[in-house]
Amino acid sequence: MRQEPETAQAQDMIQGTRVGFIGLGNMGGPMAANLAAAGYPVTGYDPVPAAAERAAAKGIRMMPTADQAVAEADVVITMLPTGQHVLNALSGDGDSLGLLAAAAPNALFLECSTISVDDARTAHALMLEMGHRGLDAPVSGGVVGAEAGTLTFMAGGAAADFAAARPLLEVMGGRVVHCGDAGAGQAAKICNNMILGVSMIAVSEAFVLGEELGLTHEALFDVASAASGQCWALTTNCPVPGPVPTSPANRGYQPGFAAALMAKDLGLAADALDSTGVRAELGRRAGEIYRDLTASGGGGQDFSAVIKTIRAASETPAAPEADAGAHHPTEEQQPAGTTQPAEQSGAV
């Protein structure tokens, strides 16, 4: 968790910035908690009782509706599962006025969900039409980063709005990048996760091949982690237990970043490829592989569990050290956004 500001002047500025936070699931909950711990007055809403209770215990003042949560907010943060959820929340759905109509004039909207570039730009246009300011600001770093306040924020929107949002983003994140105009944050997120999905498959294929060739996991890791094969999927989220003790493989592939969420993000990447005409065979194939993993019941496991799919397709028996602690997720461990509407796909 991030430290509270040290100066009285900084504390006065923070206490004068009211935050409305919509979506307090696996990602949004810890993010809001860090803002509250830093001194920001945070009012929140989540339709899932358990999420609302956890948020209230962390100092967020919970409201019975989303409209009420943002009525007095200077800054509105949304962390929702899909683009349609975001657009419905902004414009109103059913008995709701919608966040844009309910919020105070000239509020600053920070849309932190992972959604399509087109949806992000539509949301931004709606914000401006209703007299507000806005950024798309998806995140990378997963639940661990959300809890620790070390997320990477990729922001798209006007430079002045980014400057206004930066103090809040820096409470929740360790790195904050202005990527360009509206939609640029989502574009960066989609491209990053396409790299990540492909690289995890490549690393997993290499470990399965190494097993067949007689290499121990540690030997391959020691070589590749110090050579040209080095990447985050290997050195931080290693798909086999042992070489990186903190990787999900050491806890039965409990996420982490769930395979279903990787499948979702690669689906967004495929949509972007279609709309731009870019040929990206590996990115598309990676999406198919993660969708298959999800359809076969592995969606609640960490995306590094794709190594088990590769073994099965290769008819390769799992090495004892690579199959230790096999894990079958319970409903409570399902990824954000797959069973509850307010749980967010946190991004890696």
**Is 264 annotated as catalytic?**
no
CA distances from 150 to 100, 119, 167 (A): 29, 26, 14
3-state SS, residue 244: coil
Six token digits for residue 287: 């999406």
Q: Which of 58, 189, 264, 308 is an active site residue?
A: 189
Residues 6+ apart with CB under 8 A from 239: 200, 203, 204, 207, 233, 247, 249, 304, 305, 306, 307
The packing angle between helices 28-37 and 49-57, to 10°, is 20
Residues whose CB is less than 8 angstroms from the CB of residue 111 and which lie 6 or more positions away in sequence, other chains included: 78, 86, 120, 123, 124, 134, 135, 136, 137
Amino acid in the structure at residue 102: A
Q: Hey, CA dihedral for 220, 296, 27, 50, is it positive or negative?
A: negative
Which residues does the annotation mark as catalytic? 189
